């Protein structure tokens, strides 16, 4: 779980910097507290609603659409039966 949190927080920090936004600017535009932005970038900890707000400001809100969509198949028969 730690690796996932670190990966997501690192990607958000990268996208923030690409957008030339400071942590303060991102916090102000999103309505998420500066402390929450800092905590997320450092520790990967944030509420889901705050994460969505940050994603909206950065233009990545549609990335949530694919979360949990893909089914993990146990066999080729499961794949064929679903079609």
Query: Smallest Cα–Cα separation from 36: which of 51, 20, 21, 55?
Result: 51
Whether the pLDDT of residue 1 is over 70: the answer is yes
Q: Could you tell me the domains of the chain?
A: 2-66 (1.10.260.40)
Whether pTM > 0.85 for this model: the answer is no
For residue 49, what are its two tokens? 């609603």
For residue 63, what are its two tokens? 């990335």
Interval 14-58: pLDDT, tens: 999 999 999 999 999 999 999 999 999 999 999 999 999 999 999
Long-range contacts of 66-71 (CB under 8 A, 24+ apart): none
Which DSSP category does 65 fall into? G
Query: Smallest Cα–Cα separation from 22: which of 11, 13, 33, 35?
Result: 13
């Amino acid at each position: 779980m730690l690796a996932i949190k670190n990966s997501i927080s690192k990607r958000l920090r990268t996208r923030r910097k690409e957008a030339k936004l400071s942590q303060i600017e991102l916090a102000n535009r999103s309505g998420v507290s500066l402390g929450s932005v800092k905590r997320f970038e450092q520790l990967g900890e944030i509420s889901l609603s705050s994460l969505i707000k940050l994603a909206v400001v950065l233009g990545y809100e549609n990335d949530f659409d694919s979360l949990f969509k893909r089914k993990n198949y146990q066999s080729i028969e499961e794949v064929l039966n679903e079609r």
